[in-house]
Chain A
Amino acid sequence: MAIVFQKPKALTDVPTHYCPGCTHGIIHRLVAECLDELGIEGKTVGVAPVGCAVMAYNYFGCDMIQAPHGRAPAIATGVKRSLPDNVVFTYQGDGDLAAIGTAETVHSATRGENITVIFVNNAIYGMTGGQMAPTSLPNQVTQTTPYGRDVKTAGYPVRVCEMLSTLDGTAYAERVSVDCVKNVMKAKKAIKKAFETQIAGKGFSIVEVVSACPTNWGLSPVEALDWLRANMLPYYPLGVYKDKTEEEAE
């Protein structure tokens, strides 16, 4: 019988620990499919964050490093500067990338560090049980904003792609979602383009994936995707925020 669908080779044969309805699984698959299609698994080094994806090192088949909280872009920098011909990516959540690791994120982008960042934005700290994230929406109820995120005291969410697109070192920044088949296809194209940007030596590339966390949002998987569409996408519009990939190398 012809095989019409199978697990990407760049994913290990290990069951993941993710919750039912969590979109990390889809995003892992998309990254792995891109590694397969580009034929780069053997020369790729991935950097796992602290957060729900901390154990991504068990799931990706390429060499992996587990980073201190927020430091993945600094570690990726160290790897890339040592092995410039290898492909280096980080896989980070919103707390990791946009709170504790903001400096590492912004400065690796502004240096034009030739790495790829996969940024999973689900507007909550998942691993620690659902606290407010830097990307939690105004009025969003979390464990640490039990009355809803009050922007007067807790401030406003960070729009990462918009922020990084102002930096000259950012070569490619796109925000995608994995809430429906059409958007999953688009997300894969964006992730592949981000890796291609790195392979072409164009500089820093980031794909922000707007994601669902049914467990900590207190919703069913289907309700979570509805909530994502109704609340997150208006605040975090999908699209390409920066694309210097067609520009001639300086």
Chain B
Amino acid sequence: MSERVLMKGNEALAEAAIRAGCRHFFGYPITPQTELAAYMSKVMPKIGGTYLQAESEIAAVNMVLGAASAGVRAMTSSSSPGISLKTEGISYMAGSDLPAVIINVQRGGPGLGGIQPSQADYWQATKAPGHGDLHVLVFAPSSVQEMVDLVGHAFDKADEYRMPAMILADGMLGQMMEPVAIGEGSGGSNVEKPWAANGHKGGRKHNIVNSLYLQAADLERLVKERFERYAVIEEKEAMSESYMTEDAEYIVVAYGASARVAKAAVREARSQGIKAGLIRPITLWPFPKKAIKDAAENAKAFLCVEMSMGQMIDDVKLAIECSRPVEFFGRTGGIIPTPAEVLENIKKLAGGDK
């Protein structure tokens, strides 16, 4: 077990990415992810890696596209408005079957929005991270330790499935300090990338990294093949945490920072005799449908808690096929809900019983 140190989420994530074998980071300043890029700029030159401050978020993500095409582990990080700019590159990477990791330390939106923590980019990350038929893997940490653990996992899965992966964090997780153990990481050096554009050395046919298919039938076939891969991912890669759900009648569904708040509220509800539980999706795409559907068997109602106007709630309703009422509580614009507010909503849900 590696030593536990006190670190900011953004910095811990950067260090974990390096240990996962990322030696190429392309960034552009934006609050509240700045510490991540600053950490990279400090460490990368000392270990023979690349830190490059690009001229824009668009350039940064396309530098990642280039590095990923060359076959190396590459990453970029940003926050909500910057992620909108990166969607071009994300779509092209998805269409070219390129693995890479994109970090979104979310802030309030839309537009320039604010700089306080938010979860209002759920739809963007899970439904439309770029134009076209595509998904990216989306991981939602809820602690600094999970920021660390998920980034290595994201690189491994991106390589395994040849697709972009996103860490959907928020300003609270990025900025807060917690004790964290950062392991050695996978390093990623054992991954074969025979498709990479790294010079054929006269030994093979030229590799082409491309997303253009002018024949509609070709494009349809490739998209369908990609969706077969997505189906395997939905089957195998969904992750979630269940807390006190075994006998739970009222189930809160929350991820990331709001799941921390929700967990405290569930604990308090239990102490007041309400059979509450929490399901915390760790992967947002693939969405942990089965865990939520299974929990619905004994549940009377669900409460979705988000730092938005309610985005994940749609997926919860779909997962349980609307077989139970699903209520919503959220704060938005950069406001973090309090445990008391969530508890109040659990009580409201349990209304008749308590």
Residues of A that sit less than 8 Å from B by CB = 12, 41-45, 47, 54-55, 57-58, 60-68, 71, 74-83, 86, 103-104, 106-107
A-B pairs, 6 with minimum CB distance: A78-B66, A75-B66, A74-B62, A78-B63, A63-B197, A107-B55
Q: Decide: A79 and B58 in contact? CB cutoff 8 A.
A: no
Minimum CB–CB distance from B144 to chain A (whole Å) comes to 29
The reply to whether B208 and A57 form a contact with Cβ atoms under 8 Å apart is yes
With beta carbons under 8 angstroms apart, the residue of A42, A81, A86 that contacts B52 is: A81
- What's the nearest-Cβ distance from chain A to residue B224, in Å? 21
Contact of B69 among A43, A60, A78, A81 (CB under 8 A): A78
B62 in complex: contacting residue of A63, A68, A82, A106, CB < 8 Å: A68
Q: Is the CB of B200 within 8 A of A79?
A: no
User: In the complex, what residues of B have CB within 8 A of residue A78's CB?
Assistant: 24, 26, 62-70, 74
B66 neighbours in A (Cβ, 8 Å): 47, 65, 74-82
Name the one of A60, A68, A82, A107 contacting B74, with C-beta atoms under 8 angstroms: A82
The smallest beta-carbon distance between B84 and chain A, in angstroms, is 15
Contact A86 B63 (CB under 8 A): no
> A57-B208, A60-B206, A82-B24 are contacts. A65–B59 as well, Cβ < 8 Å?
no
A75-B65 contact, Cβ under 8 Å, with A42-B202, A82-B24: yes
B54, B201, B211: the one contacting A74 at CB < 8 Å is B54
Asked whether A83 lies within 8 Å of B70 as measured between CB atoms, the reply is: yes
Residue ID in chain A nearest B63 by CB atoms: A78
Chain B residues 91 to 117 lying within 8 A of chain A, measured CB to CB, are 92, 96
Within 8 A of A (CB), among B284-327: none
Decide yes or no: A63 and B199 within 8 Å by CB, A78-B63, A82-B74 being known contacts: yes
Q: Are A81 and B24 in contact (CB under 8 A)?
A: yes
Do B199 and A83 touch across chains, with their CB atoms under 8 A apart? yes
Q: Is the CB of B186 closer than 8 A to any CB of chain A? A: no
Offer 11 A-B interface pairs, CB within 8 angstroms, sorted by A: A47-B66, A54-B212, A64-B210, A66-B210, A68-B62, A71-B58, A76-B66, A78-B64, A82-B66, A82-B67, A82-B71
Known interface pairs A57-B208, A63-B198, A71-B59; A79-B70 also in contact (CB < 8 Å): yes
CB distance from B27 to the nearest CB of A (A): 13
Asked whether B88 is an interface residue with its Cβ less than 8 Å from the other chain, the reply is: yes
Which A residues are in CB contact (< 8 Å) with B59?
71, 74, 77, 103-104, 107
Chain B residue with the shortest CB-CB distance to A50:
B212
**Residues of the A chain whose Cβ atoms lie less than 8 Å from the Cβ of B69:** 45, 65, 75, 78-79
B212 and A66 form a contact (CB under 8 A): yes
Q: Mark contacts of B242-276 with chain A using CB atoms, 8 A cut-off: 1 yes-contact digit, 0 otherwise.
A: 00000000000000000000000000000000000
Cβ-based interface call for B50 (8 A):
yes
Q: Are B200 and A62 in contact (CB under 8 A)?
A: yes
The docked-state distance in angstroms from the alpha carbon of A226 to that of B47 is 56
Q: Is B174 an interface residue (CB 8 A)?
A: no
Chain B residues, CB < 8 A from A64: 197, 206-210
Residue of A nearest to B198 (CB): A83
Q: Which residue of A lies closest to B64 (CB)?
A: A78
B129 at the interface (CB under 8 A from A): no
- A73 to nearest B CB, angstroms? 8
Is there an interface contact between A86 and B210, defined as CB atoms closer than 8 Å? no
Residues of B with C-beta under 8 A to A61: 206
Q: How far, in angstroms, from A125 to B200 measured CA to CA in the complex?
A: 32
| Contact A45 B54, CB 8 Å, known A78-B24, A78-B65 | no
Q: Within 8 Å CB of A47, what residues of B? A: 66
Instruction: Tell me if B50 and A67 are in contact (CB < 8 A).
Output: no
How far apart are the CA atoms of A42 and B199 in the complex, in Å? 5
CB closest residue in chain B, given A58 = B208
CB atoms of A104 and B62 under 8 A apart: yes
Q: How far is the CA of A47 from the CA of B70 in the complex (A)?
A: 12
The residues of A that contact B338 with a CB separation of less than 8 Å are none
The answer to whether the Cβ of B89 comes within 8 Å of any Cβ in the partner chain is yes
Chain A residues near B211 (CB-CB < 8 A): 66
* Contact B63–A65 (Cβ < 8 Å): no
**Which residue in chain B gives the minimum CB-CB distance to A66?**
B210
- Tell me, yes or no, whether B31 is within 8 Å of chain A by CB: no
Expressed in whole angstroms, the Cα–Cα distance for A81 and B92 within the complex equals 20
A12 to B66, CA, bound (A): 23
State in angstroms the CA–CA spacing of A81 and B55 once bound together.
16
